[in-house]
Amino acid sequence: MAKNFFARSVHDVAPDLIGATFLVGGVGGPIVEVEAYHHTDPAAHSYGGQTARNAVMFGPPGHVYVYRSYGIHWCVNFVCESEGSASAVLIRALMPTEGLAAMRRRRGLDDERLLCAGPGRLCEALAITNAHNGAALDKAPFTLLARTAPVEIAAAPRIGISKAVDLPWRYGWAGSQFLSRPLRPKGKS
């Protein structure tokens, strides 16, 4: 995947990541769910300026920002358009297709649908830790392949945040069985 893929607005990059194949050490699959964050967004880590934790978000695009959430989980972001804007895309879920045995072993689960349905789960399945923080996406152990077929993308409000809750900056593969939550913003079945 071209490096300048990430040298664009998060709102262009985020939808384009849906359907792109993300592998760590050959383990992973097509991304089905992401969320966009940039520094003008009160819910973003980069909101309010650079700190020790979010320094990677202020660095060059095409890199990985990893942080610990709730003391337990790791979450991965892809850094975008760094030109003073410090934005990133949170990878929330993907469809497990490569290295299923490794993912099942790491997660201690059989249910394919739950292997990568959520940021913390995804990181555990792909063995992502803060050791990867700041690493470049175009180098080992990472592999990122642009989607080859068009996909139906839906936007919805983000999850698990307390600020800017209504901003529809969560993007997902419509109808996928591997989302952390169904995408329909309103209404039920």
Q: Given the rule CB under 7 A, which of 3-11, 22-30, 140-148, 153-161 is the region that contacts DNA?
A: 153-161
- Tokens 């394919």 identify what position? 112
Q: Which of 81, 83, 91, 85 is nearest to 3 (CA)?
A: 81
Q: Residue 155: which residues within 8 A CB-CB, separation 6 or more?
A: 15, 168, 169, 170, 171, 172, 185
Cis status of the peptide bond prior to 60, with omega within 30 of 0: no
Q: In terms of CB distance, is 71 or 84 closer to DNA?
A: 71
Q: Is 77 in the site for DNA (CB under 7 A)?
A: yes
Q: Is 51 in the site for DNA (CB under 7 A)?
A: yes
Q: Is 58 in the site for DNA (CB under 7 A)?
A: no
Q: Is 35 in the site for DNA (CB under 7 A)?
A: yes
> Which position among 8, 107, 113, 147 is part of the footprint of DNA (CB under 7 A)?
107
Helix (H, G, I), strand (E, B) or coil at 165: coil
The residue type found at 46 is S
Interface positions with DNA (CB under 7 A): 35, 37, 43-46, 48, 51-54, 57, 65, 68-73, 75, 77, 88, 90, 107, 109, 114, 117-122, 158-163, 180
